Structure 1
């Protein structure tokens, strides 16, 4: 997919030009021209402090110190890491405070590529013999796709994974067998129909998809055309997804007022919840459910077997202009190590590595999944994302609006999608005009 350069202030462009233009002649830039040290050599560049920005990965200062800075310093005593609280890369660049590394979510990587921040890590990967096959394939595919031309503008340190959490007590109450380790959306829909009922004056809900946009991406439907110019919501794939949604919405008792995608499992009246495993983990820790519960794999489309919730991950990128590339590389290598990944996983940040032993250590420090069927969630793989677009944030809300129109106002699917597409394109055009 093509990308159009986003509008950045003249001050930011000046900062980028100054930083990148001078790096070749600066002491930091000179090290690029010197012969690279052997990959097996320890870091010998002397004491250095690396500035790290967090952009949408949710790293707390406590987590940063314990699971990033300390492991790096243990292996490389001369490297100190500092986390900045500034979330705007534009402000950092304009002030001349370029972070050496950025911890960034896959949803925000494109914005950093647009301003020319990250360097291609392929040479570093070859030099240090980084085994990329250890990483979840969908993650590598997404990085290469959004980066263009196979460049690797980041290496992951954490990810999320879809899961199905269910209330065993409600299944037992109504004499319905628990979900299998893997279920299709059609099977999930059937369970929802059987469990959604009024009983003893209480309305019970079987379950629904928790996110319309994730459902669309899981099915491989792109919301923007190939030229990245306009929204496209009226494809056969979009209609197929909305047809599935409509079958949920027509279950008697499921839609209540404006609530059409119930997600509050903790209330005890919702039987199933599809969500991210990290969200389930934090929810269980906070609410301590009073009912018996367990896990199954995220539901899949029969046309796309074994592909669950779309891939979602966090990565570290390295600045093109940093004077401390050698130190930055050691950070990436440390964070991909088995030791660092196991520690992060135990603390509740799922590993992007395919190693089942590390994955099964997820959140053990909090004892969240003891005795639960955690292994079931890994029987489905993350779905590759079908699109990356600079218009994503503008277009996506209109699809949520379309789902509400179908659920609450009983609008025809074709009409709802066509109207949402028209509104999205008007909003995109307005934004495009504002940037000219």
Structure 2
């Protein structure tokens, strides 16, 4: 594929990209049985004629890297939709949503995740694809209902703004070498966060020049609060939601984790983003299984004996996973070839593409045990791992997203040090955070 040069003007950049940024032309034949009647109520692209057509796609928030783009999008399209040319635009400098939209057009397809749907909804770029799904014979019963519902909940009337093509699951990965070194039993499926911290107490210590960390909560809104589906703000009252029992549970756990002896480093370190994979001195880490699969396939865990268990949760919620993390494709309201775009979505939902996802550690969205049983079978470093534990928790319904989530999520991360090294007590922290958050909301509303 070819990447065109970028110009200083956002309009020129986008116009150039829409025409030729990543021209990826397929070259195989699609079975006639896979071509369906277009919906007569939609603008027509007669996909049954197999006439050459260009479908543009906007990849938001680095949802798909170049390797996955080639393996799961480009190669299948070559085989199934030879008449389709896919133009790909990634968000970034000069290609932010507002900059692209300012040109008066927008790519046909939007690749993003469900928490980001409001970004495109607020800009009038989403559309209900229910009629197109019906006319193109896409059976929603093949797809995990939790994932479809996670998309529909972004509309008060349950409109379907897109289709999932991949999902992510939370897991706890652990370094067996550290557990063996200190004679601590390995984690097990079905643990509570409280039990994780108790294990961390036995593993967080200084040995020679190494400060071992038993467990780092990491990105709290992502790793912990999503296990309880906690809202950041009420979109109706425009007030923050931090002064609540659920968030207090999260912050109390956070404070307990930070107070483990030797967790705070000699230079007041309290975050260890490289502690597990690179430095290999962190015993346990909450993470997404997709990240584990990518790292394992790239041999990033070489020199470490590791395994994983089901995502832990708080008491009363064990067995529940994190909020459903849905990687989806939406049809832009500005698309001029909706039928061809829907056919691209359909390719991603085909059994062979979903099987390829599964074999390479990308969780399929289909309700198909035969596909799920092949999970990570194509990754050498996953052999002998506790793959069954990954699926012992089920994704839960996401919280209701507000326009303020991104700002408030960042606020929680920015104020963690007040717990870790600032000495604030729980009540003071919650009160101050709630006050700061409401000020942020008020400023955004103005």
Shorter-normalised TM range = 0.7 to 0.9
Residue of structure 2 equivalent to 1:77: 82
- Give, in angstroms, the shift of residue 191 of structure 1: 1.3
Q: 2:427 aligns with which of 406, 414, 435?
A: 414
1:282 aligns with 2:290: no
Residue number in structure 1 paired with 2:261: 252
Q: Distance in 1 between matches of 2:407 and 2:302?
A: 37
Pairing partner for 1:265 from 272, 276, 299: 276
Deviations 1:13-37 (A, max 9, x none): xxxxxxxxxxxxxxxxxx7646999
Residues 237 and 168 of structure 1, relative CA distance in 2, 3 Å threshold: same
Conserved? CA contact 1:73–1:80, under 8 Å: no
The structure 1 residue matched to 2:173, chosen from 165, 176, 180, is 165
Alignment counterpart, residue 222 of structure 1, candidates 225, 231, 241: 231
Identify which of 141, 165, 179 aligns with 2:187.
179
How far apart are 1:346 and its partner, in Å?
3.5
Work out which of the residue numbers 307, 330, 352 in structure 1 matches 2:320. 307
Deviation at 1:278, TM superposition (A): 2.2
Helix, strand or coil: the match of 1:166? Answer: strand
Choose between structure 1 and 2: higher helix proportion. Answer: 1
Corresponding position of 2:241:
232
Q: Is the 8 A contact 1:72 1:330 kept in 2?
A: no
- Give SS of 2:335's match: coil
CA contact (8 A) 2:146 2:397 kept: yes
In 2, the alpha carbon distance for the partners of 1:35 and 1:112 equals 20
For residues 352-408 of structure 1, what are the alpha-carbon distances to aligned partners after superposition, in whole Å with 9 as ceiling and x for unaligned?
234344345445444231221122111111232212111112222222234321121
CA distance in 1, matches of 2:240, 2:42: 48
Aligned match for 2:371, one of 354, 358, 377? 358
- Per-residue deviation, residues 126-182 of structure 1 (Å, max 9, x unmatched): 334533343334322221111331111010112221111111122222222211123
What's the CA shift for 1:416? 0.9
Q: Is the 8 A contact 1:192 1:207 kept in 2?
A: yes
- 2:389 aligned partner: 376
1:27 corresponds in structure 2 to none
Gaps of at least 5 residues in structure 2 are: 1-10, 12-37
1:186 to partner: Cα distance: 2.0
Distance 2:237 2:358 in 1: 36
* TM, length-normalised to structure 2: 0.82
Note the C-alpha offset of 1:252: 0.9
Report the Cα offset of residue 207 of structure 1. Answer: 1.0
Distance 2:195 2:440 in 1: 38
For 2:304, the equivalent position in structure 1 comes to 291
Q: Measured at CA, do residues 186 and 47 of structure 1 come closer, stay the same or move farther in structure 2, by a change above 3 Å?
A: same
Contact 2:205/2:262 (CA < 8 Å) preserved in 1? Answer: yes
Aligned to 1:403: 416
1:378–1:118 Cα change, 3 Å: same
Partner of 1:114 in structure 2? 122
Q: What's the C-alpha RMSD, in Å, of the aligned pairs?
A: 2.7
Report how far residue 255 of structure 1 moved.
Answer: 2.0
> Does 2:69 align with 1:64?
yes
What displacement does 1:289 show? 3.4
* Cα deviation, residue 90, structure 1: 2.9
CA distance in 2, matches of 1:167, 1:248: 18
For the structure 1 residues 404 and 387, does the alpha-carbon distance in structure 2 shift closer, same or farther, using more than 3 Å as the test?
A: farther
Q: Which runs of 4+ in 1 moved over 6 A?
A: 34-37
Closer, same or farther: CA 220–344 of 1 in aligned 2, 3 Å: closer
Which of 125, 129, 132 lines up with 1:124 in the alignment?
132
